[in-house]
Amino acid sequence: MRRHALGLRLLALLFAALLVAAWQGLADARLISPVFFPSPSRTIAALVAMEQRGDLWWPLAATSLRMFYGWVLASLAGILLGSGLARSGPVRAYLEPFLEFLRPLPASAIIPPAILLLGLTSKMAVVVIAFGALWPVLLGAYHGFCSVDPQLVEMATALGMRWRSFLWKVALPSALPDIFAGVRVSLAIALILAIVTEMQSAQPGLGFLILMAQRNFRSAELFAGIVALGVLGLVTNQVLMTAERWLLRWRTLRG
């Protein structure tokens, strides 16, 4: 059985390698236009060249930082609003319809007004990112705070727990799995919006970099940028999943 799994893993690697090799072969044989699809070797060469010129880490850092700020803002606001909506009737009555209308609004649609109001600044980017990334956390938190075990709530009331310690010790831990599900989706959205805002407002970053590469028909650099963005998405998601596993370790311990 172990050997079987190992064989499959090898096959998976082989498949990926085959795909890359086919791409390289097609590109070398000029069967696909090098203008659109640079060969993998050229892509990697472009990536290395960018690194050596120092054109890789700065844009990467700028994009990640903006993404991070927007995402943190969205997460905090989402958890706050979500807990309010779930635990308080009046908050729900006043805010829910308004939020229901805002939610399906494509986040990128608020870029033009945001630019008009805040200019082509990092602040604008962070606001747009936070707006777009808010909804998954909000929904996750709302759902999580709604589904706190009623027995736990009764227990907390019986113990005369204060509101704040109830929130901190009972509600938040039991809502955490749902919040994390939302937070992870939010992170992906934050990355997307970081790229879009860069493309729109010409701020230094990977999104702007690939747009410039396209404008100058430097397809190898374009692909290098896409690869870098893919890696960024993969890494941030992995980090978050590790954090989730660590923060929620009590769940698996008990189960």
Partner 1 sequence: MARNRQAAGWRAIGSLRGVAIPALLLALWEAGAALGVVPEDTMSRPSAIAVAGWRALWDGSLVLATIQTFQCALIGLALAAMIAIASGVLIGLLPALEAVVGPTLDAIRPVPAVAIIPLALLIYGFGVRMEVLVVTFACVWPILIVAVSAVRGMEPRLMDIARTLEMSLAARLWRIVLPAVLARIAVGVRVSAGIALVVAVTVEIVLNPQGLGYSLTVAAQSLHPDLMWAELLWVGLTGWAFNRLLTMIDRRWLWRFHAWAGA
| Chain residues that interact with partner 1, rule: CB under 8 A | 5, 8-9, 11-16, 19, 35-36, 90, 93-98, 100-102, 104-113, 115-117, 188, 191-192, 195-196, 199-200, 207, 210-211, 213-214, 217, 219, 222-223, 225-226, 229-231, 233-234, 237
Task: Compute the distance between CA of residue 8 and CA of residue 130 in angstroms, rounded to an integer.
Answer: 41
Residue 28: what residue type?
A: D
Q: How far apart are CA 17 and CA 24, in angstroms?
A: 10
Give the 3-state secondary structure percentages of the chain, helix then strand then coil, rounded to 5: 85, 0, 15
Q: Nearest approach, Cβ of 57 to partner 1 (angstroms)?
A: 18
We find the least distance from the C-beta atom of residue 251 to partner 1, in angstroms, to be 21
Q: Which is nearer to partner 1, 180 or 223 (CB)?
A: 223
Task: Supply the minimum distance, in Å, between the C-beta of residue 173 and partner 1.
Answer: 28
Q: Which one, 43 or 75, has the nearer CB to partner 1?
A: 43
Structure-token pair, residue 54 = 């120092």
User: Closer to partner 1 at the Cβ: 171 or 194?
Assistant: 194
Nearer of residues 156 and 184 to partner 1, judged by Cβ: 184
C-alpha 76: how far from its chain's center?
15
CB of 170 to partner 1, least distance (A): 28
Which of 25, 119 has the CB closer to partner 1?
119
Cβ at position 141, least distance to partner 1 in Å:
19
Instruction: State how far the alpha carbon of 220 is from the alpha carbons of 27, 66, 166, 168, 210, in Å.
Output: 12, 25, 55, 50, 10
What token pair was written down for 143? 């759902």
What is d(CA 87, CA 101) in angstroms, rounded to the nearest whole number?
21
- Give the integer Cα–Cα distance in Å for 231 and 239: 12
Name which of 11 and 159 has its Cβ closer to partner 1: 11
Q: How far is the CB of 147 from partner 1 (least distance, A)?
A: 19
Considering beta carbons, is residue 71 or 223 the nearer one to partner 1?
223
Rounded-to-integer distance, Cα 173 and Cα 179, Å? 10
Taking the alpha carbons of 123, 125, 130, 135 in that order, is the dihedral positive or negative?
positive
Distance in Å, CB of 12 to partner 1, minimum: 5
Structure-token pair, residue 114: 């945001």
